[in-house]
Amino acid sequence: MGILLALIPAIGWGMQPLIARKVGGSPANQIFGTGLGALIIGIFIYFIDGAVSGKNFWISFAAGLLWSMGQVGQYITFNQIGVTKTMPISTGLQIIGTSLIGVLIFGEWAGAASKWIGAFAILLVIIGVSCTSITDQKSGESTSGSLTKGLAVLIPTTIG
């Protein structure tokens, strides 16, 4: 049962971009709807779990602010390059960023061998993400401009 409960967020976050794109609206409408949904769940959990300390509130507030920055970047990029290109690139950037934070801030990959293997793994992620952005050019249309615009929004907002 615990595994099924743990899968709920993964399924929800996997379906969320598709639902947001299907429902439509501007990125501002999409982030408002997503934030409202998170607020409703937060209030529900608050009544089950109890009070929140001031410190935890402000840490959660800062985390939510950064999350919304990243989410708005995704919504904007959905409109520029589509969900099927945005999600693999965004996920790859998050994997790379999380790994680098682990190494630089938390001292993971302690030995030289671990650092080389980790760097090789990050390179493989970069190659995989790059392969997801390749499209057929049969129609004669150039999509590199929209991909560049999308990456210009997605890369900095992924920090959030």
Q: 142-147 long-range CB contacts below 8 Å, 24 or more apart?
A: 143/81, 146/80, 146/81, 147/81, 147/85
The total of structural domains in the chain comes to: 1
The C-alpha atoms of residue 41 and residue 127 are separated, in whole angstroms, by 37
Q: Which one, of 113, 73, 103, lies nearest residue 89 by Cα?
A: 73
CA dihedral 50, 62, 77, 146 (to 10 degrees): -170
Residue 154 lies in a domain: yes
Per-residue model confidence (pLDDT) at position 122: 94
Question: 95-107: b or e for each residue (b if 16 or more CB lie within 10 Å)?
Answer: bbeebeeebeeee
Residue appearing with tokens 């615009």: 149
Residue 139 lies in a domain: no
Residue 149 lies in a domain: yes
Sign of CA dihedral 98, 124, 10, 28: positive
Structural domain boundaries enclosing 121 = 2-133+144-158
- pTM strictly above 0.85: no
Q: Give me the count of residues in the chain.
A: 160
Residue 138 lies in a domain: no
Per-residue model confidence (pLDDT) at position 22: 83
Residue 126 lies in a domain: yes
Residue 71 lies in a domain: yes
Residue 121 lies in a domain: yes
pLDDT in tens, the chain (160 residues): 778 878 887 888 788 888 887 887 888 888 888 888 888 888 888 888 777 788 888 998 899 899 889 889 988 998 888 888 888 899 899 999 999 999 999 989 989 999 999 999 999 999 998 888 777 666 545 556 788 888 899 999 988 7
